[in-house]
Amino acid sequence: MPRKIIIDTDPGVDDAMAIFFALCSPELDLIGLTTIFGNVHTALATKNALNLLEIAGRGDIPVAPGASDALTRPFAGPVPAVHGADGQGEVNLPAPTGKPLNISAAEFIIERLRAQPGEITLVPIGPLTNIALALRLEPRIADWAREVVLMGGNALAPGNASPAAEANIRNDPEAADLVFGAGWQVTMVGLDVTLRAHITPAHIADYAEHGNPMSAHIARIVPHYQRYYEANYDVGGLFSHDSSAIAYLLAPELFKLRRWPIRVGTRGLGRGKTWPATGRRILPEWEGRPLVNVCVGIDGARTVDLQSERLRGA
């Protein structure tokens, strides 16, 4: 049986790649998208999510719109230089034909997990606000979810949104601290590994040759994102952040894990930093926290090739 997943997303160029990667993988059954602010405001994230499913010919998959602001403060706004003002590399997609559900992301998550306890994996690839809101509304989702596999955080690696913090966590650290502290199994696919999943210019050129609508869309939206990475990371190509979470679901053997409790910084320069308790001595702030599967190693080349193979075969 394919593994049921709900992707919580702020599309986003790498979000689009991750959503298509999941749709091209028969091991996974994408039962819904929930949308969140981050790369764009939530309204635009919802429009992009609907458009991506229509490009993939999967307009049947529901989209539930999520929160517009973080738990404790307004969303600070997107950074268009990274994903484009439209979140899709400035290709300015037309309005989607479909409409989102009229229930919130949190309600959708609760409803689906209640209906199929133990069967659904949550895959957040944006800020964790919707997941935290769902936990607050119905704490039992921590028992009902099969697992949470998220793209976010940085255990031992530097941040990208600040020297301390990774973008998804920094956009709502309070939500992230709740998610890492609930009683479910969380797997953190963070910058420690995603900055080692390097999509080269050759991989990118290959997408344009695949001859299917999803790969063609990727080829259209990637150049803007690639220019950002080449200007800021002095590297050709780009990094496969969100898709690495999908790759973990498909091929966990490509990853090396350590199990540590995680706390999230919420103040000052360290706001948004994910702090693992890596030593034997557990301080009170980490006492009793669940152990998180923290990805600390990756076969980056194989991860990136797996995504290309699945999209080529779409």
Q: Does 300 bind Ca ion (CB under 5 A)?
A: no
Cα separation, 158 vs 162, whole angstroms: 8
Cα separation, 252 vs 298, whole angstroms: 9
249 in Cβ contact with 121 (< 8 Å) = yes
Subset of residues 88 to 127 that bind ligand RIB, contact rule: CB under 6 A: 125-126
- Residue 2 Cβ vs Ca ion, minimum distance, rounded to whole Å: 23
**What is the torsional sign of CA 93, 99, 101, 104?**
positive
The verdict on whether 241 is a catalytic residue reads yes
Closest CB to ligand RIB belongs to which residue? 167
Residue (126 or 181) nearer to ligand RIB, CB: 126
- Find the binder of ligand RIB among 88, 168, 274, 303 (CB under 6 A): 168
Task: Show the binding pattern over residues 230-259: x = contacts Ca ion (CB under 5 A), - = does not.
Answer: ------------x-----------------
User: What's the longest Cα–Cα distance across the chain?
Assistant: 55
Reduced to 3 states (helix: H, G, I; strand: E, B; else coil), residue 37 is: coil
- Residue 222 Cβ vs ligand RIB, minimum distance, rounded to whole Å: 13
Of 41, 198, 217, 241, the catalytic one is: 241
- Residue 1 Cβ vs ligand RIB, minimum distance, rounded to whole Å: 28
The residue assigned the tokens 């484009």 is: 84
Q: How far is CA 128 from the centre of its chain?
A: 9
Cα separation, 105 vs 141, whole angstroms: 13
Q: Which does 8 bind (CB under 5 to 8 A by kind): ligand RIB, Ca ion, none?
A: none
Tokens of 117: 């306890």
Q: How many residues bind ligand RIB (CB under 6 A)?
A: 15
- Residue 170 Cβ vs ligand RIB, minimum distance, rounded to whole Å: 9
**What is the torsional sign of CA 4, 66, 173, 18?**
positive
- Residue 169 Cβ vs ligand RIB, minimum distance, rounded to whole Å: 8
Region of 7-15, 22-30, 115-123, 134-142 interacting with ligand RIB (CB under 6 A): 7-15
Subset of residues 114 to 173 that bind Ca ion, contact rule: CB under 5 A: 125-126
Burial track 249-286 (b if 16+ CB lie within 10 A, e otherwise):
bbeeebbebbebbbbbbeeeebbbbbbbbeeeeeeeeb
Q: Which does 160 bind (CB under 5 to 8 A by kind): Ca ion, ligand RIB, none?
A: ligand RIB
314 in Cβ contact with 214 (< 8 Å) = yes
Residue (144 or 159) nearer to ligand RIB, CB: 159
Give the catalytic positions in this structure. Answer: 10, 241
Query: Which residues of this protein are in contact with ligand RIB, per CB under 6 A?
Result: 10, 12, 14-15, 38-39, 125-126, 151, 160, 166-168, 241-242
